[in-house]
Structure 1
Amino acid sequence: MISVRSLLIVVSAIFAFLAGRAHASPETDFWKWFQTNEASLYDFERDQEVTFDRLTAEMHKVDSSLTFEFGPKQNRQREFVISADGIRAAFPKVESLASSAPELPRWKVIKFRPRREPADIQYNGITVKANSVSVDIYPDGEKADLTVFIAGYSAVERKTFRAIAYLFLDQALGEVDVETRVGGIDVQAPLTPNTNAIPLSELPKAFDACVLKR
């Protein structure tokens, strides 16, 4: 027969567990899962598809817009980029998830896609070389409108080329600037001649000068 004292201990344990779950946040649950699966995440190349699918599912428990990028191993660390996938409404969730990260010696947690040296992009069956892309900048108040010129652009594949343009701009300017300091974005085939367009590699410096001086 269970004693009253034993029953009280069991009931107290159940209430403590439920109270703990009630105060747990999706961010806390995510990082617990991350730490439990850290080995497979750090060596994701061993089973990339399965690992990425699991990570995506866990991030979507925090917010369905969240996505990620991994950097290469450098000095026994990897970058783990938490991105809102260009969706402004999800920015607060990126902030909260990144700020709640525990101590992770093998990881460098980064909020939003940072500026990087533009690299070639393959998307939806189309490959575009970064050095073939140029951009026109048009001042627009506190922001700047951009026209992205992509060799091989086709109106039939407009959505794909527009997505590629956004990916290039994320590389060159970083996710936050694309969403907060860029106004309109147009995508076209290269014009001949086009003396105003600059190579994608020169965009960060020209963009900052354009926006900051206004």
Structure 2
Amino acid sequence: MKQGVILVVMGILSIFGSKANASVEADFWKWFQKNEDMLFNFEKDTENTFDKLSLALSKVDPELTFEFSPIRENGKREFVLSAGGIKKSFPSVELLFNSAPELKQWTIVKFRPRRIPLNDLTFGGVSIKADDVYYNIYKDEDKLGIVLFFDNYSDKEHTTYGNLGYLFLDEALGEYDVETKLGFIEFHNKSSEHFDGAKPIRELATQVDEYYGN
């Protein structure tokens, strides 16, 4: 059965530069260990638990976001540390990941990983199946530009579809590759003249990996 992920995206605040105090990573993990049972059993009080975790993460870097996976067969959850697609905050993710202690109930993952199979997504009241998303890619200097196509995309709903588009790209390629291997990113309706030759998004990872020789 296709397993979903619970995605919590913290609000975007102003971008800070270099970290003022390296101890914030250690302070975060001390807090996490102290509250490990509450976090693992977040379903008992999801909103309050996620608010507390969001606040703790914001002390490390206000751009950081997270995902919790369902409980896996090994009895653990995945705790995904994400920069929310903000490349400037990638070092914060690396620092926090590298300072993580051993946690018996958790597997720590840096950056939103690729998902196989891709999850269907809902954002801003719009639900889209992964199988309905198509793409075309183009050479963009030393990277690849991409256009994603949706059935009901319109300029009026660009923000909603843009957020969904980036989430689908993270699902297909993983957060790190989206930020480091893709150039321009656009969103169009399938009625666009550029739709000719478009492929289902489930093929994107293979095509990108082949281009970069992975």
Q: Does 1:164 align with 2:167?
A: no
> CA offsets per residue over residues 137-160 of structure 1, 9 Å max, x none?
112232100000011111111111
Equivalent position to 1:34, from 9, 16, 32: 32
Unmatched 5+ stretches in structure 2: 1-20
Could you tell me how far 1:24 is from its partner in structure 2?
Answer: 7.2
Could you tell me how far 1:209 is from its partner in structure 2?
Answer: 1.6
Q: CA RMSD for the aligned pairs?
A: 1.6
For residues 94-173 of structure 1, the aligned pairs below 5 Å read 94-116=93-115, 117-173=117-173
Name the SS of the counterpart of 1:62 in structure 2. Answer: coil
Could you tell me how far 1:210 is from its partner in structure 2?
Answer: 2.5
Q: Does 1:69 align with 2:67?
A: yes
In structure 2, the residue matched to 1:14 is none
Name the SS of the counterpart of 1:210 in structure 2. Answer: helix
Distance 1:211 1:100 in 2: 30
**Alpha carbons of structure 1 residues 24 and 111: separation in structure 2 relative to 1, 3 Å:** closer
TM superposition outliers: structure 1 runs of 4+ over 4 Å:
none
Distance 1:153 1:207 in 2: 24
Structure 1 counterpart of 2:141, which letter?
G
Distance 1:186 1:192 in 2: 12
**Alpha carbons of structure 1 residues 72 and 50: separation in structure 2 relative to 1, 3 Å:** same
Unmatched 5+ stretches in structure 1: 1-22
Distance 1:138 1:212 in 2: 17
Q: Does 1:207 align with 2:201?
A: no
Scaled by the length of structure 2, the TM-score of the pair is: 0.85
In structure 2, the residue matched to 1:50 is 48
Name the SS of the counterpart of 1:118 in structure 2. Answer: coil
Conserved 8 A contact 1:139-1:210: no
Q: Does 1:91 align with 2:90?
A: yes
Distance 1:24 1:185 in 2: 34
Could you tell me how far 1:192 is from its partner in structure 2?
Answer: 7.0
Structure 2 counterpart of 1:84, which letter?
A
In structure 2, the residue matched to 1:190 is 190
Structure 1 counterpart of 2:93, which letter?
V
Distance 2:192 2:154 in 1: 16
Structure 2 counterpart of 1:93, which letter?
S
More helix, by proportion? 1
> CA offsets per residue over residues 75-117 of structure 1, 9 Å max, x none?
1111000000000010000000011011101110000001113
Conserved 8 A contact 1:68-1:80: yes
Distance 1:26 1:131 in 2: 41
Distance 1:192 1:91 in 2: 34
Distance 1:143 1:211 in 2: 9
Distance 2:127 2:112 in 1: 21
Conserved 8 A contact 2:140-2:184: no
